[in-house]
Structure 1
Amino acid sequence: MKVPFLDLSRIDSELKEELKQKFAALLDKGVFSGGKEVDLFERSIQDKLNSRNAIACANGTDALELALRALQIGPGDEVIVPALTWVSTAEVVRIVGAKPIFWDTDEKGLLRADWVKAISKQTKAVIPVHLYGRMADMESICEAAKSSRIAVIEDAAQAFGTTRNGKAAGTWGDIGCLSFYPTKNLGALGEAGMCLTQDEKIAEKIRVLINHGQVSRDDHVSVGRNSRIDSIQAGFLNLFLGRFDDFQKRRKDLAKVYLEKLGGLPKLGLPEDILADDHNAHLFVVETTKRDELRNFLKEKGIGTAIHYPKIIPDMEPYQSQGDFPNARKLTEQGLSLPLNPWITEGEVNYITDSVIEFFGL
């Protein structure tokens, strides 16, 4: 049996046909930037996440950069970033001229609770990351940030639809940043992203920034950039959003199978909280000291896996930084992502779990 880590060509035929029809309709209309699809998408996300503002942009990395620029963070400023995350989180800090200050994660990969020790006179913001779809402790993070008078930018690229006490990821901080990269739980058929904010002034700044600093045609009030979402991607996302809840149920059902079948393995750490509301089951990451051996074994069985992430950011050449990051390093050495998406079957998950059990000799 061959089980890919993720194969987007498996999208069901009914949805594929709807996507083709959406593309044909947009082609006939001849509107490829802005328009009704973008307006509908933003309103739909506002309603779904209960956010006052949802501003679509070109991609998730842009969303983070736009957030920093809207908060006027730049040269001479510092931004606290978890050591374990996708590179974009630190990359955008460097892009705007600020300095990323790296801090260790907890054992689950979320910003460690003592991050406030990294605050200095130059600190302007903290960027908590909802890693693997698991929400960070936003209540305490926001409370500590408010006391220290620094901004909170949520990197919710992996956490769309995650909630805690009924409040969605991305709506807790000053600005929340979403990615709709094709591999995400809500993914486009290309690049797309979004900024969420409850502050009208910040929302207006972001809307101006994404459109060349224009408040209206040819009226440029600031140096902006072109980060508008494509109308076609907005149209596709409107369709995927209609399937989102069904896809989430599917993810959780499959995650439950993983937990039930692998729960008896003493040498394998499991994401036990993946079925909770504050985890959207974006990735099913197991932990073992035999990570590389297990990955090679599963590869021989035809099973695709992934490592999120093989390096912590402070160890990367462009971001070299001294520090003690034991929890983050452990996850890079022991974490392995098993296939989890709406297009794999329960039979395939059973084959994966049987193979994992075989590897550990039980």
Structure 2
Amino acid sequence: MANATDRTPPLQTKFPTMGTTIFTVMSALAAEKGAVNLGQGFPDFDCDPKLLDGVIDAMRRGLNQYPPMTGVPVLREAVAAKIEALYGHKYDAASEITITAGATQAIITAVLAIVKPGDEVIVLEPCYDSYVPNIELAGGVVVRVPLTPGTFRPDFAKIGAALTPRTRAIIVNSPHNPSATVWTRAEMLQLQDLLAPTDVFVISDEVYEHMVFDGQLHQSAARFPGLAARSLIVSSFGKTYHVTGWKVGYVAAPAVLSAEFRKVHQFNVFTVNTPMQYGLASYMASPEPYLQLPAFYQRKRDLFREGLARTRLKLLPSEGTYFQCVDISGVSDLKEADFCKWLTTEIGVAAIPVSALYVDNDDQGIVRFCFAKKDETLRAALDRLAKL
């Protein structure tokens, strides 16, 4: 019989209403049902063997101990050079680029660095599901502003109305997960003008920066001096180079913001996988892998959209990312979450309900597919979806 002193003390949870992330739930259901998993956003194909060669070479050269807290210099220099070449803004590699353990860690570290208890942070819904818990962990107040229903474009009148003297930051995401919309130059300029008279910081989630289609350009916050001066820009090597499991990303920010970011970074991660940093730096010597990424994913998008067009699902635009959203109203009157469970169980294809990416589960009858898959995977999914 257990001694009374062996009991676990009662715990008051920080997140009383929070369950497991929808991505984990749907991937587990897909595995259980043998469904084609177009839910969670990761490729099912391999990265370039040359990238692996760079990592293996680093390991064999003995580069297996702690790297500098901010990231190995050669990788920070490669990132700074890429940003300057693409977006025209020069960041100092030593003081303004920090290598992170993926973009998710970068985002929570950015929030913890700049948000104090009681500060308000604007999120544009639907949004990646780590934003709100990150703000709450920092003691901040989440201010939710919906993107325009149907188009998912930013509504600057609503954003402006949400700004108060307590607003500390706004989190923006383009190309946007889950809607696959891409902010235009005009929209970025409007954001810059709106924030100009304020002291509001921007956390700019740009992990899909190299996946913009139909000849558009990615409008990084780095392109706009008024935004760059107040932004922590987050990106992901995992998304760009098909190695999401490596969990390596970076943050670019002015020196004063980077210094605060690094104060938190050193104590929640300290540092990031050494040989992978050297492998990535070596691979970045050629820009071709990320310069060809729009064409690579646009072909997959077009293949997938062509097949979906033969179903009763209504296609929404896919301007960037590797996601495709569809309106399910012509197929089912189920709620999005129930539809996704039915689709996984009965049709054999997993998707993500967009409502799960709203704090209040706002249901508009839209679900998200991921097309970062082998062509044969996409065709297998389309064969099953043809039943709809």
The TM-score bracket by the shorter chain reads 0.7 to 0.9
In structure 2, which of residues 87, 90, 98 is the aligned counterpart of residue 55 of structure 1? 98
- Deviation of 1:92 after TM superposition, in Å, equals 2.0
| Aligned counterpart, 1:283 | 323
- TM-score, normalised by the number of residues in structure 2: 0.68
Aligned partner letter, 1:122: R
- Deviation of 1:269 after TM superposition, in Å, equals 2.9
Distance 2:257 2:205 in 1: 17
1:26 aligns with 2:59: yes
Q: Secondary structure at the match of 2:143?
A: strand
1:134 aligns with 2:181: yes
Distance 2:66 2:106 in 1: 18
1:45 aligns with 2:79: yes
- Deviation of 1:344 after TM superposition, in Å, equals 0.6
CA contact (8 A) 1:110 1:129 kept: no
Shifted more, 102-111 versus 236-245: the winner is 236-245
Distance 1:309 1:65 in 2: 22
CA contact (8 A) 2:102 2:238 kept: no
1:228 aligns with 2:278: no
Q: Secondary structure at the match of 1:41?
A: helix
Match runs of 1:1-362 below 5 Å: 3-5=36-38, 10-11=45-46, 15-16=48-49, 18-19=51-52, 22-34=55-67, 38-50=72-84, 51=89, 52=91, 53-70=96-113, 72-107=114-149, 108-109=151-152, 111-113=154-156, 114-130=158-174, 131-132=176-177, 133-136=180-183, 137-160=187-210, 162=212, 166=217, 168-171=219-222, 172=224, 173=227, 174-180=230-236, 182=238, 187-197=243-253, 199-211=254-266, 225-238=268-281, 243-263=289-309, 267-274=312-319, 279=320, 281-289=321-329, 290=332, 293=339, 296-297=342-343, 300=346, 302-303=348-349, 305-307=350-352, 309-315=354-360, 329-331=362-364, 333-337=365-369, 339-341=370-372, 343-345=373-375, 347-359=376-388
- Deviation of 1:194 after TM superposition, in Å, equals 1.6
Q: Secondary structure at the match of 2:97?
A: strand
- Deviation of 1:228 after TM superposition, in Å, equals 2.3
CA contact (8 A) 1:103 1:115 kept: yes
Distance 1:300 1:238 in 2: 45
Q: Secondary structure at the match of 1:330?
A: coil
Distance 2:42 2:378 in 1: 15
Distance 1:196 1:126 in 2: 16
Aligned-residue CA RMSD (Å) = 3.6
Describe the shift of the 1:85–1:240 C-alpha distance in structure 2 as closer, same or farther (beyond 3 A): farther
| Aligned counterpart, 1:221 | none
CA contact (8 A) 1:103 1:118 kept: yes
Percent of residue pairs identical: 13
- Deviation of 1:80 after TM superposition, in Å, equals 0.8
Q: Secondary structure at the match of 2:363?
A: helix
CA contact (8 A) 1:155 1:170 kept: no
- Deviation of 1:115 after TM superposition, in Å, equals 1.7
CA contact (8 A) 2:210 2:294 kept: no
Aligned partner letter, 1:58: A
CA contact (8 A) 1:269 1:286 kept: yes
- Which gives a bigger RCO, structure 1 or 2 (Cα 8 Å, sep 6+)? 2
CA contact (8 A) 2:55 2:280 kept: no
Q: Secondary structure at the match of 2:133?
A: helix
User: How many correspondences in the alignment?
Assistant: 320
- Deviation of 1:284 after TM superposition, in Å, equals 1.9
Distance 1:287 1:103 in 2: 22
Could you list the runs of 5+ residues in structure 1 that have no partner in the other structure? 213-224, 316-327
Distance 1:122 1:298 in 2: 43
Deviations 1:58-85 (A, max 9, x none): 2323322333355x43122111112322
Describe the shift of the 1:91–1:157 C-alpha distance in structure 2 as closer, same or farther (beyond 3 A): farther
CA contact (8 A) 1:54 1:194 kept: yes
CA contact (8 A) 2:328 2:367 kept: yes
CA contact (8 A) 1:61 1:92 kept: no
